[in-house]
Amino acid sequence: MSLSEKDVFARLKENAFHVLGLRPTCTRIEVEREGQKLLAMLELGLSEAAHYDTPVGRMPRTAELVRAAMASLRDPATRLQHALWAQLPPGASASQAPAREEPPPWPEAPVRLGWRRRG
């Protein structure tokens, strides 16, 4: 299955972890606590809660988005999908993503692991 650019953009901008301002390693209690805090801040009209950062830019935060984010992170399968899409940190673009370096080769690994050389 291939995703269009529009689908990728939507998954990055509406990622539940980004909406709540949390990392994928957070606990369920942290999700609930942060969600309730953001809902209260939005209700009071506090400007700090009005926007959230994503890899594709700053987005407006609404109470509906916060509730949807909390609900989606309660489901383990949906949470996993959001966690995978949240690997790119907020404020980074795809071109700024850290490059994964290949580990250096270990030529003597077979011998050290007990394999015998032929010959």
pLDDT at 79: 92
- What is the structure's pLDDT at 10? 83
pTM of this prediction? Answer: 0.71
Task: From 95, 22, 17, 9, select the one nearest 57 (Cα to Cα).
Answer: 9
CA dihedral sign, ordered 42, 47, 48, 54: positive
CA distance 106 to 39: 52
- pLDDT digit of tens for each residue in the chain (119 aa)? 567 788 888 888 899 999 999 999 999 999 999 999 999 999 999 999 999 998 888 999 999 999 999 999 999 999 998 998 888 766 655 444 455 555 667 677 677 777 776 65
Give the separation between CA 14 and CA 72, rounded to whole angstroms: 11
| Alpha carbon separation from 67 to 34, 39, 95, 118 (Å, rounded) | 11, 8, 31, 63
